[in-house]
Every structure is written in C-alpha cells, then in structure tokens.
Structure 1
C-alpha cells in the first residue's frame, strides 16, 4: 500500500497552520489590548479637563421699575 503513507507530510502541514492560528490569536489579543488602552486613555483625558465656569456671556442690567 504505497499510496496511503501520509504520516510525515501531514505533520509538516500542521505546523504552519498552528503558527497561523497562534499568530491570529496573538493579533486579536494585541488589538484588544490596544483598544482597551485607547479607551482608558480617552476616559482619563476627559476626566482631566477642568470644569468650565458657567458664566453667562451677556448680562442685562436689572432696573427697579415697578409696573
């Protein structure tokens, strides 16, 4: 049975597939960490900005004229 011997060639084909799977998994993990870091950085920047004073731009003089 010469045509059924696929042992060594199959193990050589499995190694690149496993490295691709490992590379894909590491890419997903790195992308998730970068997204989490960016989100936390944005939140930290938003919390670092001081509150703006609530002062009106236009004020009207009040006159004491009774009606």
Structure 2
C-alpha cells in the first residue's frame, strides 16, 4: 500500500491513475494528474478512498465521481 499521507504530485499521480483504472474510464486521457494541484489533495484522497473501498460502482456513481474530479481540476 502506498503512503498517501504526504501531499505530493507523485501521490496525486498515483491516486488519479488508480481511480481511472478502477472506473475503467474511457475518457481517462482527458483526466491527467497534472490538471490537479496539491491544494485539492484531501478531496482527491477522499475520492480515491471511496473508489477503492467499493467492489463495484454504478453508472451514476461513476458519473458523479467524474463530475467531481472535473470540478477539482485546475481552472
């Protein structure tokens, strides 16, 4: 298990990649970890922990998570 207690762009990279894998996101290329800053670290970590805690996600959950990640992206 990766140590995610440190706010770093490497940890954001890891979490975003793991979320994309878990969600099997077709638009994963549109969600680059470089689009997020460490200012949103806690929010990204919350999403990561939610996604990883579920064995299956409904379509509406995937859509809600994608929307939230889109909201967190650097403007």
**TM-score interval for Structure 1 and Structure 2 normalised by the shorter chain:** under 0.3
For the pair shown, the structure with the greater C-alpha radius of gyration is 1
Q: TM-score, normalised by structure 2?
A: 0.24
